[in-house]
Amino acid sequence: MSLSAICRDRAVFSYRTMVDHRRVVADRAINRVTSLFQESGHVVQRIDGHNDFGEDLYVSLNESRRPTGYTIAVQVKGGASYRSARGYRVRVRQHRDSWRKANAPVVCIVYDPTTDHLCWANASEQLRRTQHLRSIEVLRTDILNATSVDAFVQHMGQYIAAGCVRNPGQSSGVPGLPLRGQPLCGSASLPPGEGSTAFPVLRR
């Protein structure tokens, strides 16, 4: 076998190994998110991976294992390549309009295999606030785990009930929905370091 053929075979092997590792991390990320919600009493439906709609899961939110009628869509990413200065970034690509206009709000969850953390951001909310974003910012302080998942579910339920999905930037008139005195819709603004939404910062 010639030297060029050997080099080509090694390059193909290295590429396949890299692709396989990415697939393993991506599968682990999906499994981690699925397990977290299921073990917390919520119903998870996986979306066919052959269709790139920018959503991997639908999660029907329950309270004390009883249906709330609220559903969120989840885009799951896994790997160190999503890291940024303040946490992680998920590219919007062709999903800008569908995430912004979605009937069920789209949440981006990033799995970092180095820290073993899941971090989240409300993609629909960010795109309603700034339509031409190229990526969704996921702060490393917005950790999603067994301790914080109930507060996350409460926040998303309130976000949906406030009418932010149907009428971005407008309130449904339901009293007492904003958290910590902040609006839940796209006009939300938080003090520096408080995260990307009106959801309180959760740390492990």
pTM of the model: 0.73
Beta bridge partners of 91: 135
Q: Nearest-CA neighbor of 23 among 118, 113, 124?
A: 113
Which residues of 80-179 form beta strands (DSSP E)?
87-91, 106-112, 117-122, 135-139
Domains of the chain by residue range? 24-204
Q: Which residues pair with 119 in a beta bridge?
A: 110, 143
Q: Does domain 24-204 have CATH number 3.30.70.1290?
A: no
Rounded to an integer, what distance in angstroms lies between the CA atom of residue 199 and that of residue 187? 14
CA distances from 42 to 45, 70, 88, 149, 164 (A): 10, 11, 26, 10, 22
Q: What is the pLDDT along the chain (204 residues), one digit of tens a residue?
A: 565 544 454 544 444 455 578 889 999 999 999 999 999 999 999 997 656 678 999 999 998 889 999 999 999 999 999 999 999 999 998 999 999 998 899 999 999 999 999 999 999 999 999 988 999 999 999 999 999 999 999 999 999 998 776 544 433 333 333 333 344 454 333 333 333 333 333 333
